[in-house]
Amino acid sequence: MAITLTEKAAQRVEKYLESRGKGIGLKLAVKTTGCSGMAYVLEFVDKASSEDQVFESHGVKILVDPKSLIYIDGTELDFKREGLNEGFEFHNPNVKDSCGCGESFTI
């Protein structure tokens, strides 16, 4: 299994990294909080930790810590536009149930 980005998501991340002027990639993680158990974390990475698993998709480095990987392995990150709003969406095969807003989920 692996973590992947759609092409659109990869382009967007590259653009953000470029205008930010620093950063080696994208960090995906989960933390235990939110209204339905787990919540996603999406951050820029300036320095990788030694335990991080590194994936690469469409030229973008994705870093995931091993504990989070259990919850999000197989995830595809997409970039979507809904009306004027745009942002990233997790397509996570491990999710059984998510709260209405989609910011947190349970397995």
Partner 1 sequence: MALLQISEPGKSTIPHEHRRAVGIDLGTTNSLVATIISSQATVVENSFNEKIIPSVVSYSKSPALVGTDAIKNQIIDPENTVSSVKRLVGKNIDDINPESFSLILKNHENTIGIKTIQGIKTPIEISSEILKYLKNIAEDRLGGELMGAVITVPAYFDEAQRQATKDAAKLAGLNVLRLINEPTAAAVAYGLEQKIEGNFVIYDLGGGTFDVSILRLSEGLFEVLSTHGNAQLGGDDYDQILAEWLVNEDVINNDPKVKESLLKIARHVKESLTNIDFFHVDEKITSTIHIKKKINQSQFSELTKSLTEKTLTSVKQALRDAEINVEDIDGVVMVGGSTRMPSIQKSVQRFFNQSLLNNLNPDEVVAIGAAIQANMLAGNTNDDILLLDVIPLSLGIETIGEIIERIIPRNSTLPIAMAQEFTTYKDGQTAMIIHVVQGERDLVKDCRSLGKFTLKGIPPMVAGAAKIRVSFQVDTDGLLSVSAKELSTNIEASIEVKPSYGLSEDQIALMLESSYASAEDDKESRALAEAKTEATQLVEMTKNALNSDKSLLASSEIKLIEKDLSLLKKSIKTNDRIVIRELTEKLNSTTEVLASKRMDKSIQKALSGKTINSLEL
Nearest partner of 106 among 37, 39, 40, 29, judged by Cα: 37
Which is closer to partner 1, CB of 66 or CB of 81? 81
| Residues in contact with 32: Cβ distance below 8 Å, sequence separation at least 6, in sequence order | 38, 39
**Contact code string over 72-91 relative to partner 1, x by CB under 8 A:** --------x-xxxxxxxxx-
3-state SS, 16-67, equals: HHHHHCCCCEEEEEEECCCCCCEEEEEEEECCCCCCCEEEEECCEEEEECHH
Which is closer to partner 1, CB of 2 or CB of 41? 41
Query: Interaction with partner 1 in 4-33: which residues (CB under 8 A)?
Result: 13, 16, 19-20, 26-27, 31, 33
Site for partner 1 contains 71 (CB under 8 A): no
Which is closer to partner 1, CB of 12 or CB of 69? 12
Binding residues vs partner 1 (CB under 8 A): 13, 16, 19-20, 26-27, 31, 33-35, 39-47, 80, 82-90, 98, 101-104
